[in-house]
Amino acid sequence: MGPKLFSPGGGQTYRLSAFAETFGLHRDARNISLYKRGKFPTGLIPLVHEALTRWGKPVTYVDKRDHSKKIDVPSDEEIETCLSGITLRDYQVAGIKDLFTRSRGVVKAPTGSGKTLLAAGAIKIAVEKRQLRILFLTHLIELLNQTADVIQETTGISPDIIGDGHKTFNLSPVSVGTVQTLHRGLCGLKDKSVPRGKPIKYIVPPDPEFKRFLEGVDFLIVDEAHRGDARMFQEVCDACRNTYYRMGLTATPLMKGDIPDAKLVGITGPLIANITIQDLIDRGLLAQPVVKLIRVKEPSLPKRMKWQAAYTKGIVRNNYRNNLIVEETLALVKAGLQVLVLVTQLDHGDILWKQFARHCRCAYINGKDESEVRQAAIEGVKKGKIQVLISSTILDEGVDMPSIGAVILAGGQKSPIRVYQRIGRGMRPKGDEQNMVFVVDFLDLTQRHLAMHTLERYKLIKSEPGFKIVEDFEPWLKRVA
């Protein structure tokens, strides 16, 4: 008989009773982090099964989860109408059915596809059918409050809030929490000044209430799940050891490389639904990104310059490039569009804000601002009071800004996830026949590091069927005038 996979706690971690070497964990040091003390994350079970079978070691499972939590797969009609005043779309229905069929997995859902509504539908069914205790896990305060509002409005359930100064447990079957608050409560905040090898000291000690809460979660939803390989997410999700259902939501899954992707699959399960950008554009549910790429050849920087110096001189403090950003942005403002300018470094935002402040109604927000300041700026955009909003990476993900008509990718860099997320900020449908968002990116050819990052962004934009590259915005702007 082959090895047994079993789960003493019924949740995140499975044990492998024998033959760890069968799938190479003794030889490949890169994979050791996924197999510790005879355990590995449950989402990897299909991969482990495949590897063991390939090595001639048949495997059996002992599933010790509490199957009283299992929900019979609802009908399409039941799912479509489960939310108050909303009929869910066919792909949202399919995503919910996939979850309750497989119990775990990642739903790939582009920005603007309604993934929060998909989650709300699953939440409503889980509470009504089995009174499951649900945690919706996010990483931004803006998403914390936005998600809680959507859940309350659509399901009639008022969630507990864990984050942004709130810590409410077990008053509601549904909780929305930030990973930062939950991790601090679970693990405490260690005093990093204590030398390694010395007894641990805590600035904030672990709170047992957080551990009990996480162990009581039956259904875990991980928003922006592409971040699931990060240590905070891993440790919080590991503590949810009695969950029956796990769902990841993200527009950009499995784009980080083998090990980070395996860590994501470990906490959520594999990809179970794929909603494409092109399909949603064809339906009119997303705005068509029209992308203009502007060459930057000044100043010419030394080839052997280190990356950070090249980024500072070629992007952050490149007056020629920053003037192009201002020029392109003001042309779009003149055409009647509200513009989101996205930077990566805070200094870059400061430089651009000083330039824009002389020409238009603008605001600049970053992670150092209080949540009230950031929310006020977002509201200012929604109400048309702000023409140009400059933001650091805090707006890369999740925040709804349907009034944005143009996005300036001022920050450069090469991350495919960041490119998708940033363009997605402007892809909410515009409610007119010419359903478009204008995107400006820069071909940074001033130095080899910057050129390599530019090439990565260009290949991604060109390969996405939903993106349209153009030489000039003018003919396209006439369509939305």
Lowest mean pLDDT among 7-11, 125-129, 312-316: 7-11
Q: What is the pLDDT of residue 481?
A: 64
Across-strand partners of 409?
342
CB burial string 63-73: b at 16+ within 10 A, e below: eebeeebebee
* pLDDT classification of 192: cutoffs 50, 70, 90: confident
| Average pLDDT over every residue of 183-197 | 88
Q: Which residues make Cβ contacts (< 8 Å) with residue 373, sequence separation at least 6?
A: 365
pLDDT given at position 99? 96
Sketch out the chain's domains with CATH numbers: 4-62 (no CATH), 67-275 (3.40.50.300), 280-480 (3.40.50.300)
- Please state the rounded mean pLDDT for residues 111-140: 94
Checking if the pLDDT of 360 tops 60, the result is yes
pLDDT-derived band at 258 (thresholds 50, 70, 90) equals: confident
Mean pLDDT of 45-62: 75
Peptide bond into 299 cis (omega under 30): yes
Q: Is residue 439 scored above 90 in pLDDT?
A: yes
Q: Are 112 and 283 in contact (CB under 8 A)?
A: no
- Count CB atoms within 10 A of the CB of residue 172: 18
Angstrom distance (rounded) from CA 86 to CA 102: 25
Question: Which range among 168-172, 321-325, 419-423 shows the weakest confidence by mean pLDDT?
Answer: 419-423
Greater confidence (62 vs 340) lies with 340
pLDDT of residue 35: 64
Please report which residue ranges of 191-318 form alpha helices under DSSP H: 208-215, 231-239, 258-268, 277-282, 307-311
- Mutual orientation of helices 231-239 and 258-268 as an angle, nearest 10°? 20
Q: Which of 58-62, 397-401, 457-461 has the lowest mean pLDDT?
A: 397-401
231 burial (CB, 10 Å; 0-12 / 13-18 / 19+) is exposed
Give yes or no for residue 81 having a pLDDT over 80.
yes
pLDDT of residue 9: 38
| Confidence class for position 375, pLDDT limits 50, 70, 90 | confident
The string of pLDDT tens digits covering residues 390-411 is 998 877 665 667 789 999 999 9
Q: Pick 45 or 139 by higher pLDDT.
A: 139
What is the rounded average pLDDT for all residues in the chain? 86
Which pLDDT score, from 0 to 100, does residue 188 have?
A: 92
Burial state string for 432-464 with b = 16 or more CB within 10 A and e = fewer than 16: eeebbbbbbbbbbbbbebbeebbeebbebbeeb
pLDDT of residue 106: 94
Between the CA atoms of 131, 137, 138 and 144, what dihedral angle is there, to the nearest 10 degrees?
40
- Indicate the range of 58-67, 69-78, 170-179 predicted with least confidence: 58-67
Beta bridge partners of 222: 137, 248
Contacts made by residues 45-50, CB under 8 angstroms, sequence distance 24+? 45/5, 45/14, 46/270, 47/23, 47/262, 47/265, 48/5, 48/16, 48/23, 49/5
Report how far residue 294's alpha carbon sits from residue 61's, in angstroms, rounded to the nearest whole number: 56
Give Cα 16 distance to the centre of its chain: 31
Positive or negative, the CA dihedral 204, 209, 211, 214 is negative
pLDDT at 20 exceeding the cut of 50: no
Q: Region 209-230: what's the mean pLDDT?
A: 94
Q: Residues 216-225: pLDDT tens digits?
A: 999 999 998 9
How far is it, in rounded angstroms, from Cα 392 to Cα 366?
5
The whole-number pLDDT of residue 294 equals: 95
Q: What is the pLDDT of residues 155-166, one digit of tens each?
A: 999 999 999 889
User: Can you tell me the distance from the alpha carbon of 149 to that of 153, in angstroms, rounded to the nearest whole number?
Assistant: 6
Of the listed ranges 27-36, 110-119, 265-274, 281-290, the one predicted with least confidence: 27-36
Per the DSSP assignment, residues forming a β-bridge with 384 are none
Q: Bridge-partner residues for 363, per DSSP?
A: 389
The CA distance from 147 to 138, in Å, is 9
10: left (phi over 0), alpha (psi -120 to 50) or beta: left
User: Could you tell me the pLDDT band of residue 431, with boundaries at 50, 70 and 90?
Assistant: confident
Going by pLDDT thresholds of 50, 70 and 90, the confidence category of residue 18 is very low
Instruction: Report the b/e string of 348-381 with b at 16+ CB within 10 A.
Output: bbebbbebbeeeeebbbbbeebeeeebbebbebb
According to the model, what pLDDT value does residue 248 have? 95
Q: Is the pLDDT of residue 351 over 80?
A: yes
